[in-house]
Amino acid sequence: METGSAGSVLPAGLVASATVSASSANLGPGFDSLGLALQLCDEIVVETTDSGLVVTVEGEGAGQVPLGPEHLVVRAIQRGLQAAGVCAAGLTVRCRNDIPHSRGLGSSAAAVVSGLAVVNGLVAQTDSAPLSETQLIQLASEFEGHPDNASAAVLGGAVVSWADRTSGRPDYSAVPLRLHPDIHLFAAIPEERSSTAETRVLLPAQVSHEDARFNISRVALLVVALTQRPDLLMAATEDVLHQPQRASAMPSSAEYLRLLRRHKIAATLSGAGPSLIALGTEPELPAEVVEYGTANGFMIRKMAVGDGVRWKPGVTVAG
């Protein structure tokens, strides 16, 4: 199985690894534009071989995801090799996953970004040039169809991302935000799963000027709240464009979200859900809020801000 473009063939025996963070998109009003990396990571190790494709998966997704060329990491590696102007006669791909799948925590973006970035670890052992940060964001966003999770996974931390369509196709970009040091992050992760594609169907094709104005004001305020004024997070995380519309698809998450916000906790859906992300200046959530969540099937985790994707020649970059 030859993967990549018709450029130079990578020699067998090259080994590279990549580690990538989970991410939470939207953060309420920042639909398809705001993202935040979370320190919950997947790792891949790739070796070039003389022929064939071998994929193994440990942790999340084991026994559920395909183990052939349709595997998302493999597809991303293929695209990365093509962009780097090289190819591989064969590959062994080992995935160790800690990011829950189909929970709104950027598992697909993590798979794509790790696959693209690991190519840099391979080509670093040759005369070929690595993919730039800009290329990683562009290629990963093309896979995803939107740049919020992809940009957070590449850059780490909090990001604002956007698409410029003047060229006739979306050119994706992102800039980092310096998250205020007083902000603490919590994730509430349910057992139930949700598909981004399925919940996007619930969103209207058009919105009113009133709703658009509301979200514009809140997302502008959210940038200030995240970087300068965390006391504004409650107002800044209000949204009318996607969370109310998705509530019917995840009633348990919607009810828990309402409870969190009644306790003045700035909580939102994480991406398309069903996980929730909560931001605030208190180092712990109230005990009654945690007890309600665990009693209703949510795993409550305090989260650190995630790093940008890390890659290198060799076996591991974790830790």
Across the range 284-308, mean pLDDT stands at 98
* pLDDT bucket at 317, cuts 50 / 70 / 90: very low
Instruction: State the pLDDT at residue 267.
Output: 99
Chain centroid offset of residue 10 CA: 29
Q: Lowest-pLDDT range, 60-74, 111-125, 146-160, 186-200?
A: 186-200
Whether the pLDDT of residue 56 is over 80: the answer is yes
Q: Is the pLDDT of residue 16 over 80?
A: yes
State residue 3's pLDDT score.
Answer: 63
When pLDDT is averaged across residues 155-163 and rounded to a whole number, the result is: 98
Whole-number pLDDT of residue 199: 73
Q: How many CB atoms lie within 10 A of CB 309?
A: 26
Domain with CATH 3.30.70.890 in the chain: 184-303
Report the pLDDT value the prediction gives residue 315, as an integer from 0 to 100.
63
CATH of domain 3-175+305-313: 3.30.230.10
Task: Compute the average pLDDT of residues 292-309.
Answer: 98
For the residues 189-208, what does the mean pLDDT come to?
A: 83
Question: For the segment 220-268, what is each residue's pLDDT rounded down to a tens digit?
Answer: 999 999 999 999 999 999 999 999 999 999 999 999 999 999 999 999 9
Q: What is the mean pLDDT of residues 211-216?
A: 97
* pLDDT at residue 203, as a whole number: 84
Return the pLDDT at 83. 97
Average pLDDT over residues 128-142: 97
Task: Give the closest residue to 153 by CA, choosing from 141, 171, 142.
Answer: 141
State the chain's mean pLDDT as an integer: 95
Residue 80 CA from chain centroid, whole number: 18
Which residues in the chain are classed under CATH 3.30.230.10? 3-175+305-313
pLDDT value, residue 314 = 79
pLDDT at 318 over 50: no
Segment 24-43 mean pLDDT: 98
Rounded distance, CA 235 to CA 35, Å? 18
Position 30 scores a pLDDT of: 97
Topology given in CATH for the domain delimited by 184-303: Alpha-Beta Plaits (3.30.70)
Whether the predicted model's global pTM rises above the 0.85 cut? yes
Task: For the chain, give the secondary structure using H, E and C.
Answer: CCEECCCEEECCCCEEEEEEEEEEECCCCCCCCEEEEEEEEEEEEEEEECCEEEEEEEECCCCCCCCCCCCHHHHHHHHHHHHHCEEECEEEEEEEECCCCCCCCCHHHHHHHHHHHHHHHHHCCCCCCCCCHHHHHHHHHHHHCCCHHHHHHHHECEEEEEEECCCCCCEEEEEEECCCCCCEEEEEEECCCCCHHHHHCCCCCCCCHHHHHHHHHHHHHHHHHHHCCHHHHHHHCCCCCCHHHHHHHCHHHHHHHHHHHHCCCEEEECCCCCCEEEEECCCCCCHHHHHHHHHCCEEEEEECECECCEEEECCCCCC
Q: Is 70 exceeded by the pLDDT of residue 4?
A: no
Beta carbons of 91 and 74 less than 8 angstroms apart: yes
76-106 pLDDT tens trace: 999 999 999 999 999 999 999 999 999 999 9
Percent of the chain beyond pLDDT 90? 91
More confident residue, 168 or 27: 27
pLDDT of 319 above 80? no
